[in-house]
């Protein structure tokens, strides 16, 4: 292990890795910026103690809207939708099926009815 990595005391840069006031316990986590507070973040992970404005999970397709996170859908057209993937990208449009329509909701989501 490299000095400063989890499980090895960090003599070069002492820090409180788990936010309890003690130095070099090495339990910081990879977290992602979560601007909308929905529990899913975006961007590159940052190694730090979890705090407000950050999430343990990545994959938010729209970090300005708390209603949008992995696995929700939005309307692409009148009869098709896109799903927010776990990678934070919208999937290719898919048909609602059964000649149903996709109805956009005020919060940015869509439902096939």
- Residue-by-residue pLDDT tens, the chain, 113 positions: 333 434 444 445 666 666 777 776 656 789 999 999 999 999 999 998 888 999 999 999 999 999 999 999 999 999 999 999 999 999 999 999 988 999 999 999 999 99
**Which residue, among 80, 50, 81, 84, has the nearest Cα to 65 in the 3D structure?**
84
Q: Are 21 and 49 in contact (CB under 8 A)?
A: no
Reported pTM:
0.73
* Distance of alpha carbon 22 from alpha carbon 28, whole angstroms: 12
**Which residue ranges make up each domain of the chain?**
1-60, 73-112
**Which residue, among 86, 101, 19, 39, has the nearest Cα to 110 in the 3D structure?**
101
């Amino acid at each position: 292990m490299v000095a400063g990595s989890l499980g090895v005391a960090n003599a070069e840069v002492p820090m409180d890795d788990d936010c309890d006031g003690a130095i070099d316990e090495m339990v910081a986590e990879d977290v992602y910026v979560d601007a909308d507070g929905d529990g899913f973040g975006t961007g590159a992970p940052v190694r730090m103690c979890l705090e407000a404005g950050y999430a343990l999970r990545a994959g938010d397709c729209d970090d300005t809207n708390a209603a949008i996170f992995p696995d929700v859908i939005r309307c692409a057209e009148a009869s098709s939708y896109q799903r927010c993937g776990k990678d934070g990208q919208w999937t290719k449009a898919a048909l609602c099926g059964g000649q149903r329509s996709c109805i956009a909701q005020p919060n940015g989501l869509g439902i096939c009815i």
